[in-house]
Amino acid sequence: EAQVTQNPRYLITVTGKKLTVTCSQNMNHEYMSWYRQDPGLGLRQIYYSMNVEVTDKGDVPEGYKVSRKEKRNFPLILESPSPNQTSLYFCASSFSRGSWFFGPGTRLTVL
């Protein structure tokens, strides 16, 4: 089944404790992206990748890191999480000029 998977689906952590949210797609998509969704602010892009080893900042990249060492994986790293990073996070992937397909979301709470 073609899909985008994210892990974990739910995470509660404390300020400053490094964490990684994994994202994987099995559709051989070139593009991958991370979004966060917050009430009243909608969905905002954090980072995206056009292919292996090619990444670029989105609208809200501060406090996040990404890497694209393999085509199928695009992990999101929070090196020192803070409470303002509490949010619902989505990973998505697509072909060039294609439709974006989303993972199920990761609900992160930073205490």
Partner 1 sequence: AQTVTQSQPEMSVQEAETVTLSCTYDTSESDYYLFWYKQPPSRQMILVIRQEAYKQQNATENRFSVNFQKAAKSFSLKISDSQLGDAAMYFCAYRSAGGSQGNLIFGKGTKLSVKP
Contacts with 99 (C-beta within 8 Å, 6 or more apart), sequence order? none
Query: In the complex, what is the shortest distance from the CB of residue 2 to partner 1, in angstroms, rounded to a whole number?
Result: 12
Single-letter residue type at 51 = N
- As beta bridge partners, residue 88 has 37, 107
Closest residue by Cα to residue 32 from 14, 6, 10, 7: 6
Stretch that binds partner 1, among 13-21, 48-56, 63-71, 75-83 (CB under 8 A): 48-56
State the nearest-atom distance from the C-beta of 69 to partner 1, in Å.
Answer: 18
Residues lying near partner 1 in the complex (CB under 8 A) are found at 31, 33, 35, 42-43, 45, 48-50, 56, 58-59, 88, 90, 92, 96-97, 99-102, 104-105, 107
